[in-house]
């Protein structure tokens, strides 16, 4: 009995080791490397709503065997919890199945997304990449791989506002002399923010100001300022291109953010003349921004003298006609006289 137990135990241990060896060998044939997380800011740091990208390679480590039906999943995890978007769904990347990767070859992949608004600052997330595939020659043999080598950290500025949406209609104004602005401004900073929004355009006769107090908690309705305003244009606005600017002043006037759109004004016949300069892209600065306007140029006009031009001296057309008539009549009389003279 002792020998049987010892032999059974030995076989059990051998089976377990064999399973681990097979698992290790299958996993090693499919690998993930060159994982990189990038964003516009500092290396491996990302702010709310910033674009980010994950790139990586899926490798077939076999020398002769092809791996097929490869499925890949990418997600971000912190303390066992996945990063979610602003709708509460997991941010997950599951691309189309890779048909196959030849032996010794790799397949590069990338996943681009925008960070959600509702994140805390100074939190580290792990980029988790999982892959699985099958042996093309022996479909019952599966391979798996997992990589957790890359991380990134969420960052938030103490004072930060964002133009989440800005819709200005129409972009070209013809006979309907009004303009409608829909804006959605979100507080993505660490603290509550007070300030004001201004929409000023002198040539169009627009001068608008709205104060706001935005909560720093994204889940609160007061964390955003969303409104629609319609402005009639003053009469006599010349045709041309105009810089239409929305400006945010906050942090006690120490920070300014603006967004500028070009608006074209035409007359009712559809003709456009004149231009007006202005910045066309939004930016964030630490000081007030002045937008300089140039009055649209007027169309060229030709002026005429009030006194009619003098006629050139000479024989008039009427006089020439009379003289020609007299000459023809004289010739006619002369011909008749000659004919009558020959008859006699």
Kindly state whether residues 9 and 125 are assigned to the same domain. Answer: yes
pLDDT, position 230:
97
Q: Which of 154, 181, 200 represents a domain boundary (last residue)?
A: 154
Q: Is residue 328 part of a domain?
A: no
Q: Is residue 314 part of a domain?
A: no
Q: Model's pTM, two decimal places?
A: 0.65
Q: Find the domain containing 240 and state its range.
A: 161-285
Is residue 8 located within the same domain as residue 91?
Answer: yes
Q: Exposure string (b/e) for 91-107, b if CB count within 10 Å is 16 or more?
A: bbbeeeebebbeeeebb
| Measured distance CA(88)–CA(248) in Å, rounded | 29
- What is the per-residue pLDDT across 22-77, written as a single tens digit (0 to 9) for each? 444 444 799 999 999 999 988 899 999 999 999 999 999 999 999 999 999 999 99
Q: Return the CATH number at 96.
A: 2.70.50.60
Do 167 and 258 reside in the same domain of the chain? yes
Hey, which bits of the chain come out as E strands? Answer: 30-38, 45-46, 51-60, 67-78, 81-82, 92-93, 98-101, 106-114, 123-135, 142-154, 161-169, 172-173, 178-187, 193-201, 206-214, 224-232, 240-250, 255-265, 283-285
Domain identity same for 14 and 144: yes
Structure tokens at 147: 């990589």
Q: Is residue 273 part of a domain?
A: yes
Show which of 106, 134, 154 is a domain's final residue. 154
In a domain, 330, yes or no: no
**169 in the same domain as 145:** no
Residue 279 domain flag: yes
pLDDT tens, residue by residue, 264-283: 999 877 554 444 433 343 44
What's 255's domain CATH number? 2.60.40.10
**What's the mean per-residue pLDDT of the chain?**
80
Does residue 55 share a domain with residue 9?
yes
CA-closest candidate to residue 113, choices 71, 152, 159: 152
Instruction: Tell me: do 142 and 258 sit in the same domain.
Output: no
312-322 burial, b at 16+ Cβ within 10 Å, e below that, comes to eeeeeeeeeee
Q: Which of 233, 250, 285 is the last residue of a domain?
A: 285
The pLDDT of residue 344: 56
Clarify whether residues 141 and 121 are in a common domain. yes
Where residue 321 falls among pLDDT bands split at 50, 70, 90? low
Determine the Cα angle at 265 with ends 263 and 270, to 5°.
Answer: 130
143 and 188 assigned to the same domain? no
Specify the number of domains making up the chain. Answer: 2
pLDDT band of 295, cuts 50, 70, 90:
very low
Report if residue 333 sits inside a domain. Answer: no
**pLDDT tens per residue across span 124-178:** 999 999 999 999 888 789 999 999 999 999 999 999 999 999 999 999 999 888 9
Side-chain half-sphere CA neighbours of 186 within 13 A: 16
- Specify if 92 maps to a domain: yes
Same domain, 15 and 123: yes
Are 31 and 102 part of one and the same domain? yes
Q: Which of 1-10, 214-223, 235-244, 331-340 has the lowest mean pLDDT?
A: 1-10
**What pLDDT, in 10s, does the model give residues 215-245?**
999 888 899 999 999 999 998 899 999 999 9
Instruction: Note the pLDDT tens digit of each residue in 95-123.
Output: 999 999 999 999 999 999 999 998 999 99
Q: Are residues 218 and 188 in the same domain?
A: yes
- How many Å is the Cα radius of gyration of the chain? 41
Q: Which 3-state string (H, E, C) describes 252-302?
A: CCCEEEEEEEEEEECCCCCCCCCCCCCCCCCEEECCCCCCCCCCCCCCCCC
């Amino acid at each position: 009995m002792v020998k049987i137990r010892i032999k059974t135990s030995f076989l059990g241990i051998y089976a377990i080791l064999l399973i681990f060896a097979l698992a290790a060998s299958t996993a090693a044939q499919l690998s993930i490397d060159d994982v990189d997380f990038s964003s516009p800011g500092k290396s491996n740091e990302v702010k709310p709503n910033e674009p980010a990208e994950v790139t990586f390679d899926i490798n077939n480590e076999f020398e002769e065997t092809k791996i097929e039906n490869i499925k890949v999943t990418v997600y971000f995890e912190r303390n066992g919890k996945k990063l979610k978007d602003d709708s509460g769904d997991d941010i997950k990347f599951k691309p189309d199945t890779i048909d196959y990767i030849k032996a010794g070859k790799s397949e590069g992949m990338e996943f681009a997304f925008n960070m959600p608004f509702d994140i805390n600052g100074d939190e580290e997330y792990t980029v988790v990449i999982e892959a699985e595939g099958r042996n093309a020659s022996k479909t019952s043999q599966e391979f798996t791989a997992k990589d957790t080598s890359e991380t990134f950290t969420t960052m938030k500025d103490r004072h930060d506002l964002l133009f989440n949406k800005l819709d200005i209609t129409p972009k070209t104004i013809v006979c309907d002399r009004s303009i409608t602005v829909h804006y959605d401004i979100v507080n993505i900073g660490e603290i509550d923010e007070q300030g004001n929004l201004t929409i000023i355009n002198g040539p169009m006769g627009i001068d608008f100001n709205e104060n706001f107090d935005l909560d720093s908690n994204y889940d609160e309705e007061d964390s955003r300022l969303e409104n629609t305003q319609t402005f009639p244009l003053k009469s006599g606005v010349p045709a041309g291109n105009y810089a239409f600017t929305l400006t945010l002043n906050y942090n006690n006037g120490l920070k300014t953010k603006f967004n500028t759109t070009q608006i074209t004004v035409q007359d009712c016949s559809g003709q456009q003349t004149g231009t007006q300069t202005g910045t066309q892209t939004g930016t964030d600065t630490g000081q007030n921004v002045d937008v300089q306007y140039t009055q649209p140029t007027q169309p060229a006009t030709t002026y005429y003298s009030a006194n009619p031009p003098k006629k050139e001296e000479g024989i008039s057309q009427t006089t020439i006609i009379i003289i020609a008539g007299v000459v023809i009549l004289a010739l006619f009389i002369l011909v008749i006289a000659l004919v009558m003279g020959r008859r006699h």
